[in-house]
Amino acid sequence: MNPIKTLRRLDSKRIWILIKHCVTSPWFILPTLSATKRCMRISTQLYGRLHYKNGPANAFRHAFWNYLIAKRCLKWQKNNEAVLSWTKKITDWHEGAFPNRELAKKMDLHNNEVGRFLFQNQPSQTENQITDTLKQMALASVKVDAISDLQSLQNRLIHIIDEA
């Protein structure tokens, strides 16, 4: 993950929004970057490049990413509400800054929310415990399409394609 290379892909509006987020919560920048790098490393170790596709491995990665951001930011500010607000803000920003097809974006936002839900309800899980939990959830991930009722799948991981 090269942050400079990633930022070069953004338009000026998205960069200004990111700057605003970072200026208002500077203590969360380093733990967020650390969580992002760790998430990518673990996802690649577990799933290879499958986590870049829209299958269960991608669902795992998005939920794990949100959980890790919240967990690492909590070390800097002992306020679950502030941490979860930041995690939602920065991951929602990411989904808007790097556009996807509509269904893929809905899937990512849904799985991000699952990660935050798990953190909210199980903030003391270790990284190994949440990894095991999310691996099991990925195995039970539900395949969705454009007409699926995502609200009925609340707190469950979802995916668009099956992985071979």
Residue 33: which domain range? 28-159
**Would 86 be classed as within a structural domain?**
yes
Spatial CA neighbour of 90 closest among 62, 121, 53? 62
Q: What is the pLDDT of residue 1?
A: 57
**Would 51 be classed as within a structural domain?**
yes
Q: H/E/C letters for each residue in 47-85?
A: HHHHHHCCCHHHHHHHHHHHHHHHHHHHCCCCCHHHHHH
The structure tokens listed for 56 are 């269960």
Q: Please write the tens of the pLDDT for every residue from 10-39.
A: 778 888 887 888 788 899 999 999 999 999
**Would 11 be classed as within a structural domain?**
no
* pTM recorded for the entire structure: 0.91
Q: Please write the tens of the pLDDT for every residue from 91-124.
A: 999 998 887 899 999 999 999 999 999 999 999 9
Distance CA 23, CA 34 (A): 18
**Would 21 be classed as within a structural domain?**
no
Q: Count the domains in the chain.
A: 1
Residues making up the chain, counted from first to last: 164
